[in-house]
Structure 1
Amino acid sequence: MRGSEREAEFVDFVRAHRSDLVRTAVLLCAGDEAYAEDLVQTTLTKLYLAWAKVRRADRPLAYARTSLTNAFFDERRRAHRRRETSTGEDWALDSAVLDDDRSLRQVVLAALGQLGPRQRAVVVLRHWHDLDVIETARILGCSEGTVKSQNARALAHLRAVLGPERLLVAGEA
Structure 2
Amino acid sequence: MTFEEYVQRRGAALVRVARLICRDASLAEDLVQEVLGHAYPRWSKIVRSDDPDMYLRRMLVNANISRWRRRSAREAVGAVPADRPDRADIGADVAERDALWRLIVTLPDRQRATVVLRYYEDLDDARIAEILGCSTSTVRSNAMRAMTTLRARLDLPIRPVGSQS
**TM-score, normalised relative to structure 1:** 0.73
Is 1:108 matched with 2:103?
no
CA contact (8 A) 1:39 1:71 kept: yes
Larger mean CA deviation between 63-72 and 73-82 belongs to 73-82
Is the Cα contact below 8 Å between 1:137 and 1:144 reproduced in 2? yes
Q: 5+ residue gaps in structure 1?
A: 1-5, 83-97, 165-173
Aligned pairs for 1:147-166 (under 5 A) are 147-162=139-154
Deviation digits for residues 109-164 of structure 1 (CA, Å, limit 9, x no counterpart): 21111100010011111111121111111111112221111110101112223455
Bigger share in helix = 1
How far residue 102 of structure 1 moved from its aligned partner, in angstroms, is: 4.3
2:56 maps to amino acid:
A
1:13 is aligned to 2:13 = no
**CA-atom RMSD, angstroms?**
2.4
1:52 aligns to 2:44 (yes or no): yes
Alpha-carbon distance, 1:100 to partner: 4.1
CA distance in 1, matches of 2:154, 2:12: 27
User: Which runs of 5 or more residues in structure 2 are unaligned?
Assistant: 75-89, 157-165
SS of 1:50 mapped into structure 2:
helix
The 2-side partners of 1:25 and 1:158 are apart by 21
- 1:41 matched to 2:22? The reply is no
Structure 1 residues 26-78: Cα deviation after superposition (integer angstroms, max 9, x where no partner): 11023x11111111111111111211111212111111111111111111111
Q: Within 1, Cα distance between the matches of 2:65 and 2:54? A: 17
Alignment counterpart, residue 141 of structure 1, candidates 120, 133, 146: 133
TM-score normalised by length of structure 2 = 0.77
- Whole-Å Cα distance in 2 between the matches of residues 131 and 67 of structure 1? 16
Deviations along 1:70-98, one digit per CA (max 9) or x if unpaired, are 1111111114379xxxxxxxxxxxxxxx7
Q: Aligned residue for 2:53?
A: 61
Residue 114 of structure 2 is aligned to residue 122 of structure 1: yes
